[in-house]
Amino acid sequence: MLEVKDLHVNYGPVNAVHGVSFAAGESQVTVVLGPNGAGKSTSLRAVAGFHKPRAGTVELDGESISGLPAHKVVRRGMSLVPEGRKIFFPLTVEENLRIGGYTASRASGEKTMAEVYDTFPVLGDRRHSAAGLLSGGEQQMLAFGRALMSQPRIMLMDEPSMGLAPTMIETVMASVKVMVDKGIGILMVEQNADAALELADTVVIVTRGETTWTGTAAEARADKTVVHAMLGEAALDES
């Protein structure tokens, strides 16, 4: 279980996040929604160890990981799938995956890689191809696979549907569901609210650097005014 309480993060003199709280459990999807500039991605990166919080607590399975650097956070059982995927284009698919598994033993890494290829067969088919030759959706699957190589209990995902065609968004979200079914907890920042709510167990809305609403996906859909007030009328499909 990941628990974040009253997180504060600064960019220099700017207090970008000043009161974000959320939780993510194993085998569940927690979706963080909010307008651009609300502090969602900053919060995720702070939890993952890429920004040091100014205040607040981050706990994983009851143990504080507040302020730990990213590589130590990974060793504790949590990995980040960054915005824009950030894969290494000149390297092969398999080389990208091996980078993700740097914390695992060789035997364990080989076993996990086989599981990644089983989960994402296209990666197995293209294992010796340069990652830059993959389509956008395939690159997102590679980013998922790279994160899985560290054998996380919790995965943080920053805008996994960004830049993808609608049909590929469905494929990517289906991949997220597969990981949840394996027992992994997902904490996802996503602008495509309608797609995210199809998967979500819990919804957290962040505006202006703080958490302003938390509830179930069913509650968010039942009271669309809640999400509309935060994201605008185009945020959800009105059908």
- 188 and 141 both lie in a single domain: no
The reply to whether 171 falls in a domain is: no
In a domain, 176, yes or no: no
157 and 72 within one domain: yes
Q: What is the pLDDT of residues 125-169, one digit of tens each?
A: 999 999 999 999 999 999 999 999 999 999 999 999 998 999 899
Q: How far apart are CA 80 and CA 48, in angstroms?
A: 6
- pLDDT computed for residue 231 by the predictor: 58
Q: Examine the domain organization and report whether 122 and 143 are in the same domain.
A: yes
3: in domain: yes
Residue at 110 is within a domain: yes
Question: Residue 220: helix, strand or coil by DSSP?
Answer: helix
Asked if residue 61 and residue 114 are part of one domain, the reply reads: no
- Would you state the pLDDT for residue 233? 45
Residue 226: the pLDDT is 66
Are 210 and 117 found together in one domain? no
Are 105 and 124 a contacting pair, CB within 8 Å?
no
Q: Which helix (H) or strand (E) holds 226?
A: helix 224-231
- Count up the domains in the chain and report the number: 2
Query: Which residues contact residue 232 at a Cβ distance below 8 angstroms, ignoring those fewer than 6 apart?
Result: 35
Contact status, residue 8 vs residue 15, Cβ threshold 8 Å: yes
Whether residue 50 is found in the same domain as residue 99: no
Q: What does the pLDDT read at residue 43?
A: 96
Q: Do 54 and 118 have their domain in common?
A: no
Side-chain half-sphere of 145: how many Cα atoms within 13 Å?
Answer: 32
pLDDT by residue (tens digit) across 181-232? 999 999 999 988 889 999 999 999 999 999 999 999 999 888 766 666 555 5
Whether 24 is in a domain gets the answer yes
Range of the domain at 224: 1-77+153-165+181-239
- Asked if residue 134 belongs to a domain, the reply is yes
**What pLDDT shows up at residue 239?**
39
Report the C-alpha gap between 47 and 59 in whole angstroms.
9
The residue ranking higher by pLDDT, 233 or 74, is: 74
Residue 175 is assigned to a structural domain of this protein: no
Tell whether the model's pLDDT for residue 238 goes beyond 70: no
In order, the DSSP letters of 40-83 are HHHHHHHHTTSS--SEEEEEETTEE-TT--HHHHHHHTEEEE-T
Identify whether residues 2 and 55 lie together within a single domain.
yes
Strand locations in the chain, DSSP E? 2-11, 14-24, 29-33, 55-60, 63-64, 78-81, 154-158, 185-189, 202-207, 210-216
Judgement on whether residues 14 and 66 belong to the same structural domain of the protein: yes
Which residues, including other chains, have CB under 8 Å from residue 23's CB and lie 6 or more apart?
Answer: 1, 2, 3, 4, 30, 202
Residue labelled with tokens 């079914």: 181
Residues 63 and 49 in one domain: yes
Find out whether 36 and 207 touch, Cβ atoms under 8 Å.
Answer: no
pLDDT for the residue numbered 21: 97
What was the pLDDT predicted at 234? 45
Task: Please report, for the domain that includes residue 48, its CATH number.
Answer: 3.40.50.300
Confirm if 56 and 5 have CB atoms less than 8 A apart: yes
156 DSSP β-pair partners: 80, 187
Residue 15, pLDDT > 80, answer yes
Helix axes 93-100, 136-148, angle to 10 degrees: 30
Contact 45, 28 (CB under 8 A): no
Same domain, 145 and 158: no
Q: What is the pLDDT of residues 18-76, one digit of tens each?
A: 999 999 999 999 999 988 889 999 999 999 999 999 999 999 999 999 999 999 999 99
Pair (62, 121) in one structural domain = no
Instruction: List, for residues 89-125, the tens digit of each pLDDT value.
Output: 999 999 999 999 987 777 788 999 999 999 999 999 9
